[in-house]
Structure 1
Amino acid sequence: MTDSAPTLRQLPRGRHHLSREEVVASQRERILVAMGEAMTEGGYVGTPVAAVLKRAGVSRETFYELFRSKEDCFAAAFDRVSALLAERLQGVIAETADADAFTRMDRILTAYFDHMIDDPASARLFLVEVYAVGPSAIEARMALQSRFVAVVAAMLGAQTAEQQFACATLAAAIGAMVTGKIAGDDLDGLRALKEPLIDLARRSGSVYGTAFAG
Protein backbone atom coordinates (compact mmCIF):
# COMPACT_ATOMS: atom_id res chain seq x y z
CA MET A 1 0.00 0.00 0.00
CA THR A 2 1.24 3.49 -0.84
CA ASP A 3 2.51 5.49 2.13
CA SER A 4 0.14 8.16 3.42
CA ALA A 5 1.22 11.73 4.08
CA PRO A 6 1.31 11.26 7.88
CA THR A 7 3.73 8.35 7.47
CA LEU A 8 5.93 10.21 5.01
CA ARG A 9 5.94 13.25 7.31
CA GLN A 10 8.14 11.62 9.94
CA LEU A 11 11.66 12.86 9.29
CA PRO A 12 14.33 12.40 11.95
CA ARG A 13 13.90 14.74 14.93
CA GLY A 14 16.56 17.29 15.80
CA ARG A 15 19.89 17.22 14.03
CA HIS A 16 20.13 14.81 11.14
CA HIS A 17 22.42 14.04 8.22
CA LEU A 18 19.90 14.53 5.44
CA SER A 19 21.05 16.75 2.61
CA ARG A 20 19.01 19.74 1.51
CA GLU A 21 18.05 17.79 -1.61
CA GLU A 22 16.76 14.88 0.49
CA VAL A 23 14.71 17.19 2.70
CA VAL A 24 13.16 18.91 -0.33
CA ALA A 25 12.42 15.56 -1.98
CA SER A 26 10.66 14.38 1.20
CA GLN A 27 8.63 17.58 1.41
CA ARG A 28 7.63 17.33 -2.22
CA GLU A 29 6.54 13.70 -1.89
CA ARG A 30 4.49 14.49 1.21
CA ILE A 31 2.72 17.31 -0.59
CA LEU A 32 1.91 15.14 -3.60
CA VAL A 33 0.47 12.37 -1.42
CA ALA A 34 -1.45 14.93 0.65
CA MET A 35 -2.98 16.42 -2.51
CA GLY A 36 -4.66 13.11 -3.33
CA GLU A 37 -5.76 12.45 0.25
CA ALA A 38 -7.21 15.94 0.76
CA MET A 39 -9.32 15.65 -2.39
CA THR A 40 -11.10 12.56 -1.08
CA GLU A 41 -12.99 14.92 1.24
CA GLY A 42 -13.63 18.04 -0.81
CA GLY A 43 -12.77 17.19 -4.39
CA TYR A 44 -10.36 19.31 -6.40
CA VAL A 45 -12.54 22.42 -6.42
CA GLY A 46 -13.31 22.20 -2.71
CA THR A 47 -9.74 21.53 -1.58
CA PRO A 48 -7.78 24.69 -0.70
CA VAL A 49 -4.00 24.69 -0.57
CA ALA A 50 -4.31 25.06 3.21
CA ALA A 51 -5.88 21.59 3.44
CA VAL A 52 -2.94 20.10 1.55
CA LEU A 53 -0.45 21.91 3.78
CA LYS A 54 -2.13 20.60 6.92
CA ARG A 55 -1.95 17.00 5.74
CA ALA A 56 1.60 17.30 4.43
CA GLY A 57 2.93 19.13 7.48
CA VAL A 58 4.73 21.80 5.45
CA SER A 59 4.53 25.58 5.34
CA ARG A 60 2.86 27.67 2.68
CA GLU A 61 6.28 29.09 1.84
CA THR A 62 7.61 25.59 1.21
CA PHE A 63 4.62 24.74 -0.99
CA TYR A 64 5.14 27.76 -3.24
CA GLU A 65 8.86 27.12 -3.44
CA LEU A 66 8.01 23.78 -5.04
CA PHE A 67 4.82 24.52 -6.99
CA ARG A 68 3.45 27.56 -8.80
CA SER A 69 -0.17 26.84 -7.87
CA LYS A 70 -2.64 24.20 -6.76
CA GLU A 71 -3.08 23.19 -10.41
CA ASP A 72 0.69 22.83 -10.82
CA CYS A 73 0.76 20.62 -7.72
CA PHE A 74 -2.09 18.52 -9.08
CA ALA A 75 -0.21 18.05 -12.36
CA ALA A 76 2.84 16.80 -10.47
CA ALA A 77 0.69 14.48 -8.35
CA PHE A 78 -0.96 13.16 -11.50
CA ASP A 79 2.43 12.47 -13.09
CA ARG A 80 3.52 10.71 -9.90
CA VAL A 81 0.59 8.30 -9.72
CA SER A 82 0.68 7.69 -13.48
CA ALA A 83 4.35 6.73 -13.28
CA LEU A 84 3.73 4.40 -10.34
CA LEU A 85 0.91 2.65 -12.20
CA ALA A 86 2.96 2.33 -15.39
CA GLU A 87 5.90 0.88 -13.46
CA ARG A 88 3.68 -1.70 -11.80
CA LEU A 89 2.00 -2.77 -15.04
CA GLN A 90 5.23 -2.90 -17.03
CA GLY A 91 6.73 -5.16 -14.40
CA VAL A 92 3.86 -7.63 -14.68
CA ILE A 93 3.87 -7.44 -18.48
CA ALA A 94 7.55 -8.38 -18.52
CA GLU A 95 7.04 -11.19 -16.01
CA THR A 96 4.18 -12.75 -18.01
CA ALA A 97 5.70 -12.43 -21.48
CA ASP A 98 5.76 -16.22 -21.94
CA ALA A 99 2.57 -17.02 -20.00
CA ASP A 100 -0.65 -18.26 -21.56
CA ALA A 101 -3.33 -15.69 -22.44
CA PHE A 102 -5.52 -16.41 -19.41
CA THR A 103 -2.65 -16.11 -16.92
CA ARG A 104 -1.31 -13.00 -18.60
CA MET A 105 -4.67 -11.19 -18.59
CA ASP A 106 -5.42 -12.31 -15.05
CA ARG A 107 -2.06 -11.04 -13.72
CA ILE A 108 -2.23 -7.72 -15.56
CA LEU A 109 -5.80 -6.95 -14.50
CA THR A 110 -5.01 -8.03 -10.94
CA ALA A 111 -2.07 -5.61 -10.84
CA TYR A 112 -4.20 -2.82 -12.30
CA PHE A 113 -7.06 -3.26 -9.85
CA ASP A 114 -4.75 -3.86 -6.89
CA HIS A 115 -3.01 -0.59 -7.65
CA MET A 116 -6.33 1.24 -7.36
CA ILE A 117 -7.32 -0.63 -4.21
CA ASP A 118 -3.92 -0.12 -2.54
CA ASP A 119 -4.16 3.66 -2.98
CA PRO A 120 -7.76 4.76 -3.65
CA ALA A 121 -6.91 8.41 -2.98
CA SER A 122 -4.42 8.44 -5.84
CA ALA A 123 -6.82 6.46 -8.02
CA ARG A 124 -9.52 9.05 -7.40
CA LEU A 125 -7.04 11.80 -8.26
CA PHE A 126 -6.29 10.58 -11.78
CA LEU A 127 -9.64 8.93 -12.56
CA VAL A 128 -12.20 11.30 -11.05
CA GLU A 129 -10.82 14.67 -9.95
CA VAL A 130 -8.73 15.18 -13.07
CA TYR A 131 -11.82 16.30 -15.00
CA ALA A 132 -12.38 19.22 -12.62
CA VAL A 133 -8.91 20.70 -13.07
CA GLY A 134 -8.89 22.00 -16.62
CA PRO A 135 -7.86 21.28 -20.22
CA SER A 136 -4.21 20.49 -19.53
CA ALA A 137 -5.13 17.90 -16.89
CA ILE A 138 -7.69 16.31 -19.19
CA GLU A 139 -5.06 16.16 -21.94
CA ALA A 140 -2.75 14.33 -19.53
CA ARG A 141 -5.58 11.95 -18.65
CA MET A 142 -6.19 11.17 -22.33
CA ALA A 143 -2.48 10.50 -22.82
CA LEU A 144 -2.59 8.07 -19.89
CA GLN A 145 -5.64 6.40 -21.44
CA SER A 146 -3.73 5.96 -24.70
CA ARG A 147 -0.98 4.16 -22.81
CA PHE A 148 -3.57 1.93 -21.18
CA VAL A 149 -5.00 1.11 -24.62
CA ALA A 150 -1.50 -0.02 -25.62
CA VAL A 151 -1.37 -2.28 -22.55
CA VAL A 152 -4.73 -3.84 -23.42
CA ALA A 153 -3.76 -4.29 -27.08
CA ALA A 154 -0.50 -6.00 -26.13
CA MET A 155 -2.28 -8.12 -23.53
CA LEU A 156 -4.82 -9.38 -26.08
CA GLY A 157 -2.49 -9.62 -29.07
CA ALA A 158 -4.14 -6.98 -31.24
CA GLN A 159 -2.63 -6.89 -34.72
CA THR A 160 -5.10 -5.38 -37.16
CA ALA A 161 -6.60 -1.89 -37.15
CA GLU A 162 -9.95 -3.42 -36.30
CA GLN A 163 -8.50 -5.24 -33.30
CA GLN A 164 -6.72 -2.09 -32.15
CA PHE A 165 -10.02 -0.21 -32.28
CA ALA A 166 -11.78 -2.99 -30.38
CA CYS A 167 -9.08 -2.82 -27.69
CA ALA A 168 -9.52 0.96 -27.49
CA THR A 169 -13.24 0.52 -26.85
CA LEU A 170 -12.55 -2.18 -24.25
CA ALA A 171 -9.99 0.02 -22.50
CA ALA A 172 -12.49 2.89 -22.46
CA ALA A 173 -15.14 0.61 -20.98
CA ILE A 174 -12.73 -0.65 -18.31
CA GLY A 175 -11.74 2.91 -17.48
CA ALA A 176 -15.36 4.01 -17.16
CA MET A 177 -16.27 1.06 -14.93
CA VAL A 178 -13.21 1.50 -12.73
CA THR A 179 -13.88 5.23 -12.42
CA GLY A 180 -17.43 4.50 -11.28
CA LYS A 181 -16.25 2.04 -8.65
CA ILE A 182 -13.58 4.43 -7.33
CA ALA A 183 -16.01 7.36 -7.28
CA GLY A 184 -18.50 5.23 -5.35
CA ASP A 185 -15.82 3.83 -3.01
CA ASP A 186 -16.85 0.34 -4.11
CA LEU A 187 -13.57 -1.55 -3.89
CA ASP A 188 -15.26 -4.95 -3.67
CA GLY A 189 -17.13 -4.12 -6.86
CA LEU A 190 -13.84 -3.15 -8.45
CA ARG A 191 -12.34 -6.53 -7.62
CA ALA A 192 -15.41 -8.24 -9.07
CA LEU A 193 -14.80 -6.75 -12.52
CA LYS A 194 -11.83 -8.97 -13.32
CA GLU A 195 -13.49 -12.32 -13.99
CA PRO A 196 -16.27 -10.96 -16.27
CA LEU A 197 -13.69 -9.02 -18.26
CA ILE A 198 -11.54 -12.12 -18.78
CA ASP A 199 -14.63 -14.11 -19.73
CA LEU A 200 -15.63 -11.42 -22.23
CA ALA A 201 -12.20 -11.56 -23.89
CA ARG A 202 -12.29 -15.35 -24.04
CA ARG A 203 -15.78 -15.40 -25.58
CA SER A 204 -14.86 -12.74 -28.13
CA GLY A 205 -12.38 -14.94 -29.99
CA SER A 206 -10.29 -12.84 -32.35
CA VAL A 207 -12.27 -9.60 -31.93
CA TYR A 208 -9.60 -8.05 -29.70
CA GLY A 209 -6.58 -9.97 -30.94
CA THR A 210 -4.90 -13.34 -31.18
CA ALA A 211 -4.67 -14.09 -27.44
CA PHE A 212 -7.96 -16.02 -27.27
CA ALA A 213 -8.43 -16.72 -30.99
CA GLY A 214 -9.15 -20.25 -32.11
Structure 2
Amino acid sequence: MSGVERLPRGRHKLSREDVAGRQRDRMLAALADVLTERGYANTPVAAVIERAGVSRETFYQQFASKQDCFIAAFEDAVGDIATALFTELGASEGTPLERFDRGLRVYLATLAAEPAKARLFLVETYAAGPGAIARRAEIQAQFVDGIATLFGARTKSKRAVCEALVGAIVALVTARIVSDNVAGLAALRAPIVELAGATLVKR
Protein backbone atom coordinates (compact mmCIF):
# COMPACT_ATOMS: atom_id res chain seq x y z
CA MET A 1 0.00 0.00 0.00
CA SER A 2 1.46 3.32 -1.02
CA GLY A 3 1.13 6.50 0.99
CA VAL A 4 -0.57 4.97 4.06
CA GLU A 5 1.31 4.84 7.36
CA ARG A 6 1.10 1.89 9.68
CA LEU A 7 0.69 2.51 13.39
CA PRO A 8 3.90 2.83 15.41
CA ARG A 9 4.99 -0.35 17.19
CA GLY A 10 4.59 -0.53 20.98
CA ARG A 11 3.20 2.31 23.07
CA HIS A 12 2.27 5.50 21.31
CA LYS A 13 0.48 8.76 22.06
CA LEU A 14 -2.14 8.53 19.36
CA SER A 15 -5.76 9.06 20.39
CA ARG A 16 -8.40 6.43 19.67
CA GLU A 17 -9.69 8.67 16.91
CA ASP A 18 -6.23 8.89 15.34
CA VAL A 19 -5.79 5.12 15.54
CA ALA A 20 -9.22 4.51 14.00
CA GLY A 21 -8.52 7.05 11.26
CA ARG A 22 -5.21 5.44 10.32
CA GLN A 23 -6.75 2.00 10.35
CA ARG A 24 -9.56 3.22 8.12
CA ASP A 25 -7.10 4.75 5.65
CA ARG A 26 -5.16 1.47 5.55
CA MET A 27 -8.31 -0.55 4.89
CA LEU A 28 -9.45 1.77 2.10
CA ALA A 29 -6.03 1.65 0.46
CA ALA A 30 -5.90 -2.13 0.92
CA LEU A 31 -9.28 -2.55 -0.75
CA ALA A 32 -8.19 -0.49 -3.76
CA ASP A 33 -4.96 -2.49 -4.09
CA VAL A 34 -6.65 -5.89 -3.80
CA LEU A 35 -9.40 -4.90 -6.24
CA THR A 36 -6.71 -4.07 -8.80
CA GLU A 37 -5.32 -7.59 -8.45
CA ARG A 38 -8.51 -9.63 -8.06
CA GLY A 39 -11.55 -7.57 -9.06
CA TYR A 40 -14.53 -6.79 -6.86
CA ALA A 41 -16.29 -10.16 -7.15
CA ASN A 42 -13.14 -12.08 -6.21
CA THR A 43 -12.11 -9.86 -3.30
CA PRO A 44 -13.22 -11.26 0.08
CA VAL A 45 -13.12 -9.21 3.26
CA ALA A 46 -10.36 -11.54 4.49
CA ALA A 47 -8.04 -10.35 1.70
CA VAL A 48 -8.60 -6.70 2.63
CA ILE A 49 -7.98 -7.44 6.31
CA GLU A 50 -4.77 -9.29 5.54
CA ARG A 51 -3.46 -6.55 3.24
CA ALA A 52 -4.33 -3.79 5.71
CA GLY A 53 -2.84 -5.64 8.67
CA VAL A 54 -5.92 -5.27 10.87
CA SER A 55 -8.21 -7.71 12.64
CA ARG A 56 -11.65 -8.79 11.45
CA GLU A 57 -13.09 -7.06 14.50
CA THR A 58 -11.40 -3.79 13.49
CA PHE A 59 -12.82 -4.06 9.98
CA TYR A 60 -16.40 -4.57 11.19
CA GLN A 61 -16.10 -1.79 13.74
CA GLN A 62 -15.86 0.61 10.80
CA PHE A 63 -17.63 -1.11 7.91
CA ALA A 64 -20.80 -3.18 7.78
CA SER A 65 -19.69 -5.13 4.70
CA LYS A 66 -17.30 -5.23 1.75
CA GLN A 67 -19.70 -3.01 -0.20
CA ASP A 68 -19.78 -0.50 2.66
CA CYS A 69 -15.98 -0.40 2.58
CA PHE A 70 -16.08 -0.03 -1.21
CA ILE A 71 -18.44 2.95 -1.03
CA ALA A 72 -16.14 4.62 1.52
CA ALA A 73 -13.11 3.95 -0.71
CA PHE A 74 -15.05 5.26 -3.71
CA GLU A 75 -15.89 8.50 -1.92
CA ASP A 76 -12.25 8.83 -0.87
CA ALA A 77 -11.14 8.43 -4.50
CA VAL A 78 -13.81 10.85 -5.73
CA GLY A 79 -12.68 13.43 -3.18
CA ASP A 80 -9.12 13.41 -4.50
CA ILE A 81 -10.13 13.43 -8.15
CA ALA A 82 -12.93 16.00 -7.89
CA THR A 83 -10.87 18.41 -5.80
CA ALA A 84 -8.08 18.35 -8.35
CA LEU A 85 -10.44 18.81 -11.30
CA PHE A 86 -12.95 21.37 -10.04
CA THR A 87 -10.32 23.62 -8.48
CA GLU A 88 -8.96 24.29 -11.97
CA LEU A 89 -12.34 24.45 -13.71
CA GLY A 90 -13.51 27.03 -11.18
CA ALA A 91 -10.38 29.20 -11.41
CA SER A 92 -10.69 32.72 -12.78
CA GLU A 93 -7.44 32.92 -14.72
CA GLY A 94 -7.41 32.18 -18.44
CA THR A 95 -9.99 31.41 -21.11
CA PRO A 96 -12.50 28.59 -20.59
CA LEU A 97 -10.44 26.33 -22.86
CA GLU A 98 -7.24 27.12 -20.94
CA ARG A 99 -8.96 26.35 -17.64
CA PHE A 100 -10.37 23.13 -19.10
CA ASP A 101 -6.86 22.21 -20.26
CA ARG A 102 -5.42 22.79 -16.79
CA GLY A 103 -8.23 20.84 -15.14
CA LEU A 104 -7.81 17.94 -17.54
CA ARG A 105 -4.04 17.90 -16.97
CA VAL A 106 -4.50 17.71 -13.20
CA TYR A 107 -7.26 15.09 -13.56
CA LEU A 108 -5.08 12.83 -15.72
CA ALA A 109 -2.06 13.32 -13.46
CA THR A 110 -4.13 12.46 -10.37
CA LEU A 111 -5.37 9.24 -11.96
CA ALA A 112 -1.83 8.32 -13.05
CA ALA A 113 -0.48 8.93 -9.55
CA GLU A 114 -3.13 6.69 -7.94
CA PRO A 115 -3.89 3.90 -10.44
CA ALA A 116 -5.54 1.66 -7.81
CA LYS A 117 -7.97 4.44 -6.87
CA ALA A 118 -8.51 5.20 -10.56
CA ARG A 119 -9.44 1.58 -11.25
CA LEU A 120 -11.78 1.51 -8.26
CA PHE A 121 -13.51 4.70 -9.43
CA LEU A 122 -13.67 3.92 -13.16
CA VAL A 123 -13.88 0.13 -13.42
CA GLU A 124 -14.84 -1.75 -10.26
CA THR A 125 -17.88 0.42 -9.56
CA TYR A 126 -19.89 -1.58 -12.08
CA ALA A 127 -19.42 -4.76 -10.05
CA ALA A 128 -20.23 -3.13 -6.71
CA GLY A 129 -23.99 -2.86 -7.17
CA PRO A 130 -26.66 -0.30 -8.14
CA GLY A 131 -25.84 2.09 -5.30
CA ALA A 132 -22.23 2.46 -6.40
CA ILE A 133 -23.23 2.80 -10.05
CA ALA A 134 -25.78 5.49 -9.21
CA ARG A 135 -23.20 7.42 -7.19
CA ARG A 136 -20.74 7.23 -10.09
CA ALA A 137 -23.41 8.57 -12.47
CA GLU A 138 -24.03 11.41 -10.04
CA ILE A 139 -20.34 12.35 -10.03
CA GLN A 140 -20.21 12.18 -13.83
CA ALA A 141 -23.24 14.49 -14.04
CA GLN A 142 -21.42 16.98 -11.79
CA PHE A 143 -18.47 16.82 -14.19
CA VAL A 144 -20.86 17.63 -17.05
CA ASP A 145 -22.32 20.52 -15.02
CA GLY A 146 -18.86 21.93 -14.38
CA ILE A 147 -17.91 21.85 -18.07
CA ALA A 148 -21.29 23.29 -19.15
CA THR A 149 -20.87 26.18 -16.71
CA LEU A 150 -17.27 26.75 -17.79
CA PHE A 151 -18.14 27.01 -21.49
CA GLY A 152 -21.52 28.70 -21.03
CA ALA A 153 -23.38 25.76 -22.56
CA ARG A 154 -26.94 26.82 -21.80
CA THR A 155 -28.93 25.11 -24.57
CA LYS A 156 -29.97 21.45 -24.64
CA SER A 157 -27.81 20.81 -27.67
CA LYS A 158 -24.71 22.31 -26.02
CA ARG A 159 -25.44 20.39 -22.84
CA ALA A 160 -25.56 17.21 -24.93
CA VAL A 161 -22.15 18.12 -26.37
CA CYS A 162 -20.79 18.43 -22.82
CA GLU A 163 -22.24 15.02 -21.96
CA ALA A 164 -20.63 13.52 -25.06
CA LEU A 165 -17.29 15.11 -24.19
CA VAL A 166 -17.36 13.71 -20.65
CA GLY A 167 -18.41 10.32 -22.00
CA ALA A 168 -15.45 10.36 -24.39
CA ILE A 169 -13.05 11.33 -21.60
CA VAL A 170 -14.31 8.55 -19.34
CA ALA A 171 -14.15 5.95 -22.12
CA LEU A 172 -10.63 6.91 -23.17
CA VAL A 173 -9.32 7.05 -19.60
CA THR A 174 -11.00 3.79 -18.60
CA ALA A 175 -9.46 1.98 -21.58
CA ARG A 176 -5.98 3.05 -20.43
CA ILE A 177 -6.65 2.00 -16.83
CA VAL A 178 -8.05 -1.41 -17.84
CA SER A 179 -5.02 -2.11 -20.03
CA ASP A 180 -2.61 -0.93 -17.28
CA ASN A 181 -1.37 1.80 -19.60
CA VAL A 182 -1.11 4.53 -16.97
CA ALA A 183 1.72 6.16 -18.90
CA GLY A 184 -0.69 6.67 -21.80
CA LEU A 185 -3.02 8.92 -19.81
CA ALA A 186 -0.99 12.08 -20.37
CA ALA A 187 -1.13 11.59 -24.15
CA LEU A 188 -4.93 11.96 -24.05
CA ARG A 189 -4.72 15.58 -23.00
CA ALA A 190 -4.02 17.21 -26.38
CA PRO A 191 -6.70 15.44 -28.45
CA ILE A 192 -9.34 15.93 -25.73
CA VAL A 193 -8.58 19.64 -25.48
CA GLU A 194 -8.74 19.89 -29.27
CA LEU A 195 -12.13 18.17 -29.22
CA ALA A 196 -13.41 20.55 -26.53
CA GLY A 197 -12.21 23.53 -28.51
CA ALA A 198 -13.83 22.32 -31.72
CA THR A 199 -17.21 21.58 -30.13
CA LEU A 200 -17.63 24.10 -27.31
CA VAL A 201 -15.66 27.25 -28.18
CA LYS A 202 -17.50 29.85 -30.23
CA ARG A 203 -15.81 30.66 -33.53
- Normalising by structure 2, we get a TM-score of 0.94
Question: Unmatched 5+ residue regions in structure 2?
Answer: none
Contact 1:9/1:56, CA 8 A, preserved across alignment = no
From 27, 33, 53, give the equivalent of 1:31. Answer: 27
- CA deviations on 1:68-126 (whole Å, 9 max, x unpaired) are 110111011111111121112222234x3231234212201001101110100000001
From 115, 124, 132, give the equivalent of 2:127. Answer: 132
**Amino acid paired to 1:40:** T
Query: 1:27: Cα distance to partner?
Result: 0.5
Q: Equivalent pairs: percent with the same residue?
A: 45
Contact 1:131/1:138, CA 8 A, preserved across alignment = yes
- Count of residue pairs the alignment pairs up: 203
Matched, 1:183 2:183: no
SS in 2 for 1:72: helix
Query: Which shows bigger deviation, 37-46 or 188-197?
Result: 188-197
Partner of 1:213: 202
Query: 1:199: Cα distance to partner?
Result: 1.2
Partner of 1:198: 193
- CA deviations on 1:143-192 (whole Å, 9 max, x unpaired) are 11111112222333312222111101111111111111111111232211
Matched, 1:150 2:145: yes
Partner of 2:101: 106
Structure 1 residue ranges, 4+ long, deviating more than 6 angstroms after superposition:
none
Could you say what the CA RMSD is over the residues aligned between the two structures, in angstroms?
1.5
- Normalising by structure 1, we get a TM-score of 0.89
- CA deviations on 1:27-48 (whole Å, 9 max, x unpaired) are 0111011110111110001111
Partner of 1:159: 154
Question: Unmatched 5+ residue regions in structure 1?
Answer: none
From 7, 21, 28, give the equivalent of 1:11. Answer: 7
Contact 1:9/1:57, CA 8 A, preserved across alignment = no
Partner of 1:91: 87
